[in-house]
Structure 1
Amino acid sequence: MPALTTHRFRDDLAQAFHDINAQWIGAMYRIEQTDRDVLENPRARIIASGGDILFVEADGLGIVGACALQKTGERQFELTKMGVLEAARGRKAGEFLLQAIIARAREMGAERLYLLSNAKSAAAIHLYEKLGFVHDAKIMEEFGSRYERCNIAMRYPIG
């Protein structure tokens, strides 16, 4: 197994953020305008508003995954745009990245951390559950309409 490391957002990684996410979204779903806005403008849509983006690098493969924390309120973040390249699946890069993004959310003072997904993303849902996310109807009601494909909402019990 190659060693895994994380990197914070830098402008030279913006294209990797776009490409990794466009690959997985496009393979399973239709890329929505909301996706395009974030993927094409990560500094403006994520970083400038108080969020962060982490990348996972695998030795010998380069950057293989990305995940964003989008600030959606005071001490509130949406875990969004988490993707791992198909070539890197099975190397625990997704789990490594998810653990890192949860730790980063804590560092940033998150009191509410949630995500929006789709039941079709069964492997991702399983990973979220494994690391402690719980299904939450209130989150679904509050934020679920942001994406046409959203039919699952989860929150992480911080604190």
Structure 2
Amino acid sequence: MLTILPYTDDLAPAFHAINAAWIADMFVLEPHDEHVLSHPREAIVDKGGTILFVHHPDHGVIGAGALMPTGGRGYELTKMGVRADVRGTGAGAVLLDALIAHARDLPDLTTLYLLTSSKCAAAIHLYEKAGFVHDAAILASHGATYARCNVAMRHPLG
């Protein structure tokens, strides 16, 4: 049974490890990645964002994801990853559903978006199944955040 855990400072190393692993496996850790992963409380939580974790009873924390406020009542769904050794367990979908549910409860949210790369085909498929749609305006306005970004998506709830 997978469960969702809220952020605590004790889980910050798991947030860093899970995300640094998948980013480094496919891309290069960029300065923005390093800052957010090394300082999740400062970069996300203290600014009104949320970090959630997926916990597996046999494997511990296996996934993490965040909703990061980006100004103008927008939130980026970011730094969402699942450990490579437990992919295929449904953890990504459980985590994504929990993040979207949390976003629905944010009173100031007007835009929920994510930035990714076309190299992340499985993730893009997961996002599409959850209702995210490709959005050229989001790509134009936020895509330069990461050198690897060539896909931007917006969720209809915001």
Under TM normalisation by the shorter chain, which class is it? over 0.9
Query: Displacement of 1:157 after TM fit?
Result: 0.3
Note the alpha carbon deviations across 1:81-125, whole angstroms, 9 max, x for none: 000001111100000000000001111232210000000000000
Partner of 2:29, secondary structure, is coil
Amino acid at match of 1:158: L
Counterpart Cα distance in 1 of 2:31 and 2:71: 21
Please, what TM-score do these two structures have when normalized by structure 1?
0.97
2:76 is aligned, of 50, 75, 78, to: 78
Equivalent in the alignment of 1:18: 16
Counterpart Cα distance in 1 of 2:117 and 2:99: 20
Counterpart Cα distance in 2 of 1:143 and 1:75: 14
1:147 aligns with 2:146: yes
Partner of 1:77, secondary structure, is strand
RMSD between superposed Cα atoms in Å: 0.8
Q: May I ask how many residue pairs the two structures share in their alignment?
A: 157
Please, what TM-score do these two structures have when normalized by structure 2?
0.97
Counterpart Cα distance in 2 of 1:107 and 1:32: 31
Percent of counterpart pairs with the same letter? Answer: 54
Partner of 1:48, secondary structure, is helix
Query: Displacement of 1:33 after TM fit?
Result: 0.4
Spell out structure 1 runs of 4+ moving beyond 2 A: none
Query: Displacement of 1:59 after TM fit?
Result: 1.3
Equivalent in the alignment of 1:123: 122
Counterpart Cα distance in 2 of 1:136 and 1:17: 27
1:88 is aligned, of 73, 86, 89, to: 86
Larger mean Cα displacement after TM superposition, 7-16 or 109-118: 109-118
Counterpart Cα distance in 1 of 2:106 and 2:17: 26
- Consecutive unaligned residues of structure 1, counting only runs of 5 or more, are none
Amino acid at match of 1:86: A
Partner of 2:147, secondary structure, is coil
